[in-house]
Amino acid sequence: MIRILLGALVLALSACSTVSPKAWERGNLARPDMAWDPDPMQAAQRSHVYTSKEHSTGGASVGGGGCGCSN
């Protein structure tokens, strides 16, 4: 039983790591092409098209029933 608990403890502690980037890597993450939506106009257009195609309550923000009707 002790071996199992020790093994579980070793596995749990091996998953601990820091995720923050190093100081010299932060410049790479701050580049405009690394943004979720590098082009705000294109992101707005895609959101509008998605909402129009989805046509359920809330579009992209609220999950609808999928029946195709709008309330």
pLDDT 10s digit of each residue in the chain, 71 long?
999 999 888 888 876 666 666 777 777 777 777 777 778 888 889 888 887 777 655 545 555 555 555 54
Structure pTM? 0.35
pLDDT at position 5: 92
pLDDT at position 62: 55
Q: What is the 3-state secondary structure (H, E, C) of 25-58?
A: CHHHHCCHHHCCCCCHHHHHHHHHHHHHHHCCCC
Q: Which token pair is 23?
A: 């100081």
Task: Return d(Cα 64, Cα 71) in angstroms, integer.
Answer: 10
